[in-house]
Chains A and B, each alone.
Chain A
């Protein structure tokens, strides 16, 4: 693949190194002269100096080919938004990935349709939520290789899911119910299984989805 990376900080530079090791063609764009010189010693012609929100800088980096992927990894969210918009809408780059530095700017990325985005704060928060035991959700098993986990919940009297069939639940996309235990008897959860208060439900989901999952099943 041909990949253009905007921003040669720790994130951008390490992405460039990794992608080059995987035999991709990479151009890294870095604005600061001192940082550029450091990178240039290592990456030679694969790094260019300039402001990646300037159209002529992007063109010099081959944005018109267009690249298969543009990674907007600068430390400024407004710059990352503009880079993605120019790449996608002016040059038809099929895929962009943007770094979000300040999670308060996430709504701007969402509003302007820039996805996927990566934010260190949000990722760490998802892990924190995963580690901290949460009311109503018992963590049973981590499937490390699959990056999935199995949890158990008990359906309460006032749960929005009580009295509903499994197919009518608005579960997060990365989750499935496995089984429903009632009066010591367990059954595989299918679309037509109706949940009742007191049921113990096993579910499989992606780490980080716990909160959404709990909301769908346990509280309004």
Chain B
């Protein structure tokens, strides 16, 4: 099983490490060479310095043979384009894309892109957390 992870920030690097630990052959792409440090000292996977919209960089990372792509750079629109390229040009069935804006995440989800929106998740988790604090409910006073 081969995975390409685009974007080696806090999210991408941890996803890459977890996939690698569970037996995936992982190559990570990031524009910044220093991002490699986030993968830890004994990183056994691949690491390519370059932009994920560059087809040559994607190919160098082995996107042609990839079974999965995780797209988590810090730009929503960059992620949307790379995700669609992985899906439609390289025919990868398992493409997951991190999108911070809930509206765009929802729209592209309806178009068949697997979008993950941490903002939406945070909203529901925080709301539920308040609900589960055990604050006694009061009748709403209406004028």
Residue ranges of A at the interface with B (Cβ–Cβ < 8 Å): 53-56, 76-79, 81-82, 86, 89-90, 104-105, 107-108, 111-112
Check A78–B103 contact: CB distance below 8 A.
no
Cβ contacts A to B, 25 pairs, < 8 Å: A53-B104, A54-B101, A54-B104, A55-B103, A55-B104, A55-B107, A56-B103, A76-B77, A78-B77, A78-B78, A79-B77, A81-B77, A81-B80, A81-B81, A82-B76, A82-B80, A82-B81, A82-B104, A86-B107, A104-B54, A104-B55, A107-B55, A108-B53, A111-B89, A112-B81
Write the nearest CB–CB distance from A212 to chain B, whole angstroms. 23
One of A55, A77, A79, A111 near B84 (C-beta < 8 A) = A111
Check A108–B77 contact: CB distance below 8 A.
no
| Chain B neighbourhood of A56, CB < 8 A | 103
Write the nearest CB–CB distance from B48 to chain A, whole angstroms. 16
| Chain B neighbourhood of A76, CB < 8 A | 77
Write the nearest CB–CB distance from B53 to chain A, whole angstroms. 6
Residue of B with least CB distance to A58: B103
Q: Does B111 contact A (CB under 8 A)?
A: yes
Check A53–B76 contact: CB distance below 8 A.
yes
Tell me, in angstroms, the Cα distance from A78 to B84 when the chains sit together: 11
Sort A-B residue pairs by CB-CB distance and give the 7 closest, nearest first.
Answer: A78-B77, A55-B103, A82-B77, A78-B81, A78-B78, A79-B77, A81-B81
Total number of B residues with any Cβ neighbor in A under 8 Å: 18
Segment 2-59 of B: residues with Cβ below 8 Å from A: 53-55
Check B107–A105 contact: CB distance below 8 A.
no
Number of inter-chain CB pairs below 8 Å: 48
| Chain A neighbourhood of B107, CB < 8 A | 55, 86, 90
| Chain B neighbourhood of A108, CB < 8 A | 53, 81, 84-85
Check B76–A112 contact: CB distance below 8 A.
no
**Apart from A86-B104, A107-B55, 4 more pairs, CB < 8 Å:** A78-B75, A82-B76, A82-B81, A107-B89
Check A111–B77 contact: CB distance below 8 A.
no
Check A89–B111 contact: CB distance below 8 A.
yes
Q: Does B88 contact A (CB under 8 A)?
A: yes
Write the nearest CB–CB distance from B85 to chain A, whole angstroms. 6
Segment 88-138 of B: residues with Cβ below 8 Å from A: 88-89, 101, 103-104, 107, 111
| Chain A neighbourhood of B84, CB < 8 A | 108, 111-112
| Chain A neighbourhood of B78, CB < 8 A | 78
Residue of A with least CB distance to B80: A82
Write the nearest CB–CB distance from A110 to chain B, whole angstroms. 10
Write the nearest CB–CB distance from B119 to chain A, whole angstroms. 13
| Chain B neighbourhood of A111, CB < 8 A | 84-85, 88-89
Check B80–A78 contact: CB distance below 8 A.
yes
| Chain A neighbourhood of B88, CB < 8 A | 111-112
Tell me, in angstroms, the Cα distance from A215 to B78 when the chains sit together: 36
Tell me, in angstroms, the Cα distance from A53 to B108 when the chains sit together: 13
